[in-house]
Structure 1
Amino acid sequence: MKILHTADWHIGKKLHKHYLHQDFELFINWLLTLIRKEEIELVLISGDVFDLANPSAEARRQYYLALKKLSLLKCKIIITGGNHDSPTMLDAPREILEALDVHIIGGMPQNPADCLIPIRNKKNELELVVAAIPFLRDSDIRAAEEGVTHDNRIEAIRKGIEATFTAAAASCKAQYSQIPVIAMGHLYAAGIETSDSERDIQIGNQAAFQASQFGEYFNYVALGHIHKPQRVNASIPTFYSGSPLPLSFSERKDEKRVLLLDTNNGFEPTSIAIPTFRKLNKISGTLNEIKAKLANLTAEGELTNLIEVALIEENYDAYLIAQLDELVTSFSAPKLEIVKHRASFKNRMKETGQLFENHRHLEDLKPQEVFDKMLEQHSYDDRTKALVTQAFQEIVEQIHTADHL
Structure 2
Amino acid sequence: MKILHTADWHIGKRLHKVDLSQDFDLFIDWLREYLKKNPVDILLLSGDVFDFSNPSSESRNQYYRSLIKLKTFQLKIIITGGNHDSPSVLEAPKEILNQLDIHVIGQMPEAFEDCLIPVPSAQNTELVIAAIPYLRSKNLQRQFSAECHENKQAAVKESIAYHFQEAAKLAKKNYPHLPLVAMGHLFATGASVSESERDIQIGNLAGLEASHFGEDYSYIALGHIHKPQRLQAETPIFYSGSPIPLSFSERRNEKRILILDTEKSYEPKGISIPKFRDLVLIKGTLEEIKTKLVSIENNHPLKTLIEIELHEAEFSASKTYELEQLIESFNQPNCEIVKHKVIFKNKSEIERGISSVESQISDFTPKEVFQKKLEGIDETEDTKLELMSAFEEILDELNRSEE
**What is the TM-score of this pair, normalised by structure 1?**
0.85
Determine if contact 1:169/1:218 at 8 Å carries over to the other structure. Answer: yes
Separation in 1, partners of 2:238, 2:269? 11
Q: 1:103 to 1:124 in 2, by over 3 A?
A: farther
Separation in 2, partners of 1:76, 1:313? 55
Deviations 1:140-174 (A, max 9, x none): 02249787221222111101011100110011100
Paired letter, 1:191? G
Indicate the residue corresponding to 2:387 in structure 1: none
Does residue 312 in structure 1 map to residue 311 in structure 2?
Answer: yes
Separation in 2, partners of 1:19, 1:148? 43
Does residue 125 in structure 1 map to residue 124 in structure 2?
Answer: yes
Q: 3-state SS of the aligned residue for 1:233? A: coil
Q: 3-state SS of the aligned residue for 1:113? A: helix
Does residue 46 in structure 1 map to residue 39 in structure 2?
Answer: no
Indicate the residue corresponding to 1:87 in structure 2: 87
Paired letter, 1:161? I
Does residue 261 in structure 1 map to residue 228 in structure 2?
Answer: no
Indicate the residue corresponding to 1:373 in structure 2: none
Paired letter, 2:306? I
Paired letter, 1:158? K
Indicate the residue corresponding to 2:167 in structure 1: 168
Separation in 1, partners of 2:171, 2:241? 27
The answer to which of 130-139 and 29-38 deviates more is 29-38
Deviations 1:52-90 (A, max 9, x none): 000001100000000111111101000000000001111
> Within 5 A, what are the aligned runs for 1:347-362?
347-351=346-350
Indicate the residue corresponding to 2:67 in structure 1: 67
Does residue 245 in structure 1 map to residue 225 in structure 2?
Answer: no
Separation in 2, partners of 1:124, 1:118? 13
Say what the alpha-carbon RMSD is for the aligned residues.
1.5
Using the TM superposition, give the Cα deviation of residue 107 of structure 1 relative to its aligned residue in structure 2, in angstroms. Answer: 0.2
Separation in 2, partners of 1:316, 1:91? 54
Separation in 1, partners of 2:249, 2:45? 23
Indicate the residue corresponding to 1:180 in structure 2: 179
> Within 5 A, what are the aligned runs for 1:4-83?
4-83=4-83
Using the TM superposition, give the Cα deviation of residue 247 of structure 1 relative to its aligned residue in structure 2, in angstroms. Answer: 0.3
Q: 1:126 to 1:281 in 2, by over 3 A?
A: same
Q: 3-state SS of the aligned residue for 1:347? A: coil
Determine if contact 1:212/1:235 at 8 Å carries over to the other structure. Answer: no
Unaligned runs of 5+ in 2: 353-403
Indicate the residue corresponding to 1:378 in structure 2: none
Determine if contact 1:198/1:227 at 8 Å carries over to the other structure. Answer: yes
Separation in 1, partners of 2:219, 2:282? 40
Q: 3-state SS of the aligned residue for 2:169? A: helix
Indicate the residue corresponding to 2:380 in structure 1: none
Indicate the residue corresponding to 2:332 in structure 1: 333
Determine if contact 1:142/1:156 at 8 Å carries over to the other structure. Answer: no
Q: 1:47 to 1:29 in 2, by over 3 A?
A: same
Q: 1:138 to 1:309 in 2, by over 3 A?
A: same
Higher relative contact order (CA 8 A, sep 6+): 2
Q: 1:296 to 1:51 in 2, by over 3 A?
A: same
Determine if contact 1:285/1:310 at 8 Å carries over to the other structure. Answer: yes
Separation in 2, partners of 1:34, 1:265? 20
Unaligned runs of 5+ in 1: 354-405
Q: 1:38 to 1:196 in 2, by over 3 A?
A: same
Does residue 206 in structure 1 map to residue 205 in structure 2?
Answer: yes
Separation in 1, partners of 2:134, 2:205? 16
> Within 5 A, what are the aligned runs for 1:97-176?
97-121=97-121, 123-143=122-142, 148-176=147-175
The answer to which of 30-39 and 238-247 deviates more is 30-39
Deviations 1:88-116 (A, max 9, x none): 11111111001111000000001111100
Separation in 2, partners of 1:144, 1:234? 26
Separation in 2, partners of 1:25, 1:124? 36
Q: 3-state SS of the aligned residue for 2:287? A: helix
Indicate the residue corresponding to 1:372 in structure 2: none
Q: 1:181 to 1:352 in 2, by over 3 A?
A: closer
Separation in 2, partners of 1:13, 1:44? 21
Deviations 1:326-381 (A, max 9, x none): 0001100111100001110111224389xxxxxxxxxxxxxxxxxxxxxxxxxxxx
Q: 3-state SS of the aligned residue for 2:204? A: coil
Determine if contact 2:315/2:351 at 8 Å carries over to the other structure. Answer: no
Q: 3-state SS of the aligned residue for 1:269? A: strand
Indicate the residue corresponding to 2:321 in structure 1: 322
Percent of pairs with identical residues:
53
Q: 3-state SS of the aligned residue for 1:36? A: helix
Indicate the residue corresponding to 2:357 in structure 1: none
Indicate the residue corresponding to 2:388 in structure 1: none
The answer to which of 140-149 and 9-18 deviates more is 140-149
Indicate the residue corresponding to 1:292 in structure 2: 291
Paired letter, 2:157? R
Separation in 2, partners of 1:65, 1:218? 33
Determine if contact 2:9/2:243 at 8 Å carries over to the other structure. Answer: yes
Determine if contact 2:8/2:226 at 8 Å carries over to the other structure. Answer: yes
The answer to which of 138-147 and 106-115 deviates more is 138-147
Using the TM superposition, give the Cα deviation of residue 48 of structure 1 relative to its aligned residue in structure 2, in angstroms. Answer: 0.2
Q: 3-state SS of the aligned residue for 2:313? A: strand
Using the TM superposition, give the Cα deviation of residue 5 of structure 1 relative to its aligned residue in structure 2, in angstroms. Answer: 0.2
Separation in 1, partners of 2:166, 2:325? 61
